[in-house]
Amino acid sequence: MFYRAKLAILSGLIAMTCAVDLRAEPGSSTDRGVASASIIKPISVSAQKRLEFGGVAVSANQGGNVTIDPSSGNAAYNGSAKKMCLTAVPCAPGPAVYAVQGEKDRGYRVILPTTVMASAQRGPAPDLVVSQITSASENRPNNDSAGLLNANGRDTLRIGGQLEIPAGTPPGSYAAEITLVVSYE
């Protein structure tokens, strides 16, 4: 009987637990969150000077190339490529120069194409390859894919590259469009 009494009490507790109303009490709860934003000056870039490979001559039998270093602005001639200065041809090689402006003391990334094609401005001629396109920031000189805006929100960015000139390339003016993208880090 003692066993039956325990069983009856246990059964009664289970029945009471199941019979309890488990509905939530009416009401509500509220809280407030915060939304915030920091508005910064947009980054901008503007061309000051274009990339110039200058006046160059190559032999009919051997090609060459000209490489412009963006940091130093120096031109290196390889193969049969030689610097040629004529009165009608701009001779001064040098890097492209861009002014970058934005939020002070902010770093930024530079995205450049690896290769572009330079086309003859007049007459039929094969396109010339411009490769090894790199940049140099005045404020962050040891990084070719990033720059740094100074305390005034300014930087000077220089772009260099290498122009490949095949043997027998027809004389003329050649131009390529180099698209660059700058964005905050």
In residues, how long is the chain? 185
What's the token pair of residue 55?
Answer: 């006046």
Q: If pLDDT is split at 50, 70 and 90, which confidence band does 11 have?
A: very low
Q: If pLDDT is split at 50, 70 and 90, which confidence band does 26 have?
A: confident
Burial 26-51 (b: 16+ CB within 10 A, else e): eeeeeeeeeeeeeeeeebebeeeeeb
pTM of the model as a whole: 0.78
The CA distances from residue 142 to 51, 60, 177, in Å, are 20, 39, 25
- For the chain, give every domain's residue range: 44-175
Tell me if residue 10 falls in helix, strand or coil. Answer: helix
CB 120, CB 173: distance < 8 Å: yes
Tens digit of each residue's pLDDT (9 = 90 or more) over 128-155: 999 999 999 999 988 889 999 999 999 9
Instruction: Share the mean pLDDT of the chain.
Output: 88
Does residue 132 or residue 18 have the better pLDDT? Answer: 132
Residue 53: CB atoms within 10 A of its CB come to 25
